[in-house]
Amino acid sequence: MAKHWTRRQVLAQIGIAAAAVHTLDPHELCCAVPAHAKTTDKDLFELKKVADGVYAAVAAAAYKVNSNAAVIVTDDGVVVVDSHSKPSAARAVYTEIQGITKKPVRKIVNTHFHWDHWQGNEVYAAANPGLEIVASQRTRENLTRPDAGAGGIPFIEKQLAGVPSEIEKLKGDIMRASNPEMKSRLEANLQQAEAYLQELKQLKPMLPTRTVSTTVTLHEQGREIQLHLLGRGHTDGDLYIYLPKEKVVATGDALIDWMPFFNDGYPEEWVQTLNALEKLDFTHIIPGHGEVLPKAHLTFFRGYLTDLITAVKTASGGGATLEEMQKKIADQLAPKYEQAMSKYPLGRYRDRIGQNVEMVYRKVVKKG
């Protein structure tokens, strides 16, 4: 039975109720998007069939971003991987799931602790008594650690402190908007930010009720679901959900169709972890963001990580400053990666390359 915690209860429980709340650094946002990103209130998700009884709920591009979900129907219930950034988004997916099956949702699996992958857990818990929420042991810890990064209960407090200034900035941008099209986009973003703030204030964080610290097989009725811990990568607790019979893997943000987000990541280990993932026999990837992908995308995405790491090491070895590296490497890797890493209005090559270079420089070259 999933236990309901209020945010305050959890904060008190972990002894950080009085922890300083600081303003949100935009770099801390897992999936911060440019203010001009396309937004829609309806059609938040499209449910796409990947195999018999296996679906990807592919999130539409939205200013307040949502993760994808994997929806796996078993003989006696449903397993859902990731629950997006907010209850309203989880509700939208849950409604779509109920259009496929009236079976209860038995399990939620959270791939990692980032805010846009778990903040909708409460919706499934409220509607499904006995729901289990499964995550890696490390993810469970990260969800309450004040210094964990871009997700968890302390990060909700940071967002509550940060979103009001984001709203003020959007209001200022709207006043200064030079054309009607830009203005209406910003107004839509403002609406989303205001609605998101209201949801954040009401959020009832639902932490994992079951953790795994090694690879396990869930023997659901009529469906084998494996949970793999393959090493550190996008975070230190990434979980891969693998269906051996259907040859499908759900990867969270360890493998996406956007540019990667490195802030809580381990660039060199990430490459090794993807090598381990490659050994599994699968044909389809349900990524954390973007459309369902073929296995070949792993090679491409890992190629970007290795080329980026090599480029940063070479440039810094040659004495380049961070700013010089950011400019040089952005142009250097563009022919191979810019187009394929800019398919969506979010997480595009030029939006993230500077930040990617900086993170790899700090984590790989400066080791800290």
Which CA distances in Å does 260 have to 187, 241, 347? 28, 19, 8
Tell me which DSSP letter residue 60 carries.
P
Of 53 and 154, which CB lies nearer to Zn ion in the complex structure?
154
CA pair distance 143, 203, nearest whole angstrom: 14
> What's the one-letter identity of residue 84?
H
Distance CA 179, CA 183 (A): 6
Least distance to Zn ion from the beta carbon of 152, Å? 12
Q: Give 143 or 311: the residue with its C-beta nearer to Zn ion.
A: 143
Instruction: Quote the least distance from Cβ 245 to Zn ion, whole Å.
Output: 27
Q: Which is nearer to Zn ion, 30 or 312 (CB)?
A: 30
113 vs 242, which CB is nearer to Zn ion?
113
Give the C-alpha separation, 33 to 119, whole Å.
Answer: 18
How far does CA 176 lie from the centroid of its chain? Answer: 32
CB of 280 to Zn ion, least distance (A): 21
CA distance 67 to 31: 9
Measured distance CA(103)–CA(83) in Å, rounded: 18
Q: Please say which residue, 253 or 358, places its beta carbon nearer to Zn ion.
A: 253
Check the CA dihedral 43-44-50-54 and report its sign: negative
**H or E stretch including 274?**
helix 267-278
CB of 334 to Zn ion, least distance (A): 24
Beta-bridge partners for 46: 58
Residue 13 CA to residue 81 CA, distance in Å, equals: 27
Question: In this structure, what token pair is assigned to residue 294?
Answer: 């073929």
DSSP state of 115: G
Please, what is the minimum distance in Å from the beta carbon of residue 112 to Zn ion? 6
Minimum CB distance to Zn ion smaller for 53 or for 252: 252
> Per DSSP, which regions of 118-205 are E strands?
132-136
Residues 6+ apart with CB under 8 A from 46: 57, 58, 60
Helix 296-317 and helix 349-360: axis angle, to 10°?
A: 60
Rank residues 67 and 342 by Cβ distance to Zn ion and give the closer one.
67
- Write out the residues near Zn ion by the rule CB under 5 A: 30-31, 67, 114, 116, 253, 288
Q: Which is nearer to Zn ion, 66 or 316 (CB)?
A: 66
Choice between 186 and 346, CB closer to Zn ion: 346
CB of 347 to Zn ion, least distance (A): 9
To the nearest whole angstrom, how small is the minimum distance from the Cβ of residue 192 to Zn ion?
17
- Using DSSP bridges, classify how beta strands 284-287 and 248-252 pair: parallel, antiparallel or unpaired: parallel
Amino acid code (one letter) for 211: T
Work out how close the CB of 288 gets to Zn ion at its nearest, in angstroms, rounded to a whole number.
5
Q: How far is the CB of 130 from Zn ion (least distance, A)?
A: 28
Contacts 24+ apart (CB under 8 A), 167-170: 167/193, 167/194, 167/197, 170/35
